[in-house]
Amino acid sequence: MTQPVNFIGVDLGGTTLTAAAVNVVSGQVIGRHQVPTLAKEGHDAVMARMVSLIHAAIDDAGLSKEDIGGVGIGLPGVLDLERGITLFLPNLPGAWRNVPLKATIEAAVDLPTYILNDVRSFTLGEKTFGAGRDVDNMVCLAIGTGIGGGMVINGQLYLGLDGTAGEVGHQIIDPYGPPCGCGSRGCLEAFASGPAIASMALKAITQGLTTLIAEIVSYDLNKVTPEVVCQAAQAGDPIAQDIYERAGFYIGIGVANLITILSPQMVVIGGGVAQAGELLFEPIRRTVREHVHVTPIEKIKIVPAQLGTDAGLIGAAVWASLQLRSGRALQATSER
């Protein structure tokens, strides 16, 4: 039996829930739907919303359930991939401890369902159809509310123990640095994530430094975001430019560590903060050149992600197709 080429990819975020039908041969995304996650309503309500969204994506793509090979779901946290259970989703109310997501969705939509960490999904999407499609070894960073990552080694998504490989945002940059949400101190995420950038801006404003950041938000500190800091930096504000310089420096240190250890062909950087473009990439690349001395850095590309906000759901759909194919291969082997 030929495996369908269309799979449903789902991206569960803290604020938005997105689903679409993905052609895992061409990468085409159709029937895309997005709704508020409304995570405060609890995991049962969110899963019910996810089921409705999956059905809506199938209908709007002009497909039937028989045209769909399965469902892949990208989630922000620690998962039991084998059992399809969420263990700890730190950015969602209740943390989704021991929620049987796979079984719940399978029962509701009658399609095989597989789960994967959201940034590993992003990595798989970029490897398959994005910036890394022509390389065999790559590292991805997604910089937003946190800093997540993923690795591809010899053409395969590398998951490590229990799918936890790739937590690049929790490498220690300074053991005496600020506390991180993971429980450690001085993680890259604590220095250069979106909240860290906003925090640097707030500190500058409260210190009385003259900056466009304050003017843009009419001195309402609750409105300071990385996007606002980026806007000020692009307008020539030296305080905002220095903030992105510092964030790029810290990310560059993290990338230099990864390059020295893994020697990848490519480093792909995406996420909301990366939308700052060269404001961020220039200090990253400069810092890497200054700190990598035992790896041929001239052969390594540091590039923006290409798939935008669809990378995660594309990767989740590809993951479902790979898992289904693997399961059928194992079944065929066992029947010989």
Specify the pLDDT at position 1. 56
Give the other-Cβ count within 10 Å of 328's Cβ.
Answer: 12
In a domain, 12, yes or no: yes
DSSP 128-173: HHSTTTT-SSEEEEEESSSEEEEEEETTEEE--GGG-TT-GGGSBS
| Cβ(68)–Cβ(4) below 8 Å | yes
| Pair 114, 157 in one domain | no
| Pair 157, 57 in one domain | no
| Pair 92, 222 in one domain | no
Q: 13-61: per-residue pLDDT in tens?
A: 988 999 999 999 999 999 999 999 999 999 999 999 999 999 999 999 9
The CB-based long-range contact list for 232-240 (8 Å cut-off, 24+ gap) reads 233/276, 233/279, 234/279, 237/211, 237/212, 237/213, 239/201, 239/204, 239/209, 239/210, 239/211, 239/212, 239/213, 240/201, 240/211, 240/212, 240/213
| Pair 195, 238 in one domain | yes
| Pair 174, 63 in one domain | no
| Pair 14, 98 in one domain | yes
In a domain, 128, yes or no: no
In a domain, 1, yes or no: no
| Pair 225, 119 in one domain | no
Q: Which amino acid is at 168?
A: V
In a domain, 85, yes or no: yes
Could you tell me the pTM of the whole model?
A: 0.93
Exposure of 135 in the CB half-sphere (CA atoms within 13 A): 25
318: containing domain: 6-123+310-334
State the Cα–Cα distance between residues 235 and 240, nearest whole angstrom. 9
State the Cα–Cα distance between residues 102 and 75, nearest whole angstrom. 12
3-class secondary-structure state, position 30: strand
State the Cα–Cα distance between residues 199 and 227, nearest whole angstrom. 13
In a domain, 299, yes or no: yes
In a domain, 176, yes or no: yes
In a domain, 129, yes or no: no
| Pair 72, 182 in one domain | no
State the Cα–Cα distance between residues 3 and 6, nearest whole angstrom. 9
Reading the block at residue 306, the tokens are 């290409």
State the Cα–Cα distance between residues 326 and 335, nearest whole angstrom. 14
Q: 136-162: per-residue pLDDT in tens?
A: 999 999 999 899 999 999 999 999 988
What domain count does the chain have? 2
DSSP 255-312: HHHHHHHH--SEEEEESGGGGGTHHHHHHHHHHHHHH--SS-GGG-EEEE-SSGGGHH
Mark the ranges of the chain whose per-residue pLDDT is less than 70. 1, 328-336
Specify the pLDDT at position 330. 38
Specify the pLDDT at position 181. 84
| Pair 146, 253 in one domain | yes
| Cβ(33)–Cβ(88) below 8 Å | no
Reading the block at residue 54, the tokens are 């999956």
User: Nearest 10 degrees: CA dihedral of 259, 262, 266, 270?
Assistant: -80
| Pair 294, 217 in one domain | yes
| Pair 85, 148 in one domain | no
| Pair 113, 234 in one domain | no
In a domain, 130, yes or no: no
The CATH number that applies at residue 167 is 3.30.420.40
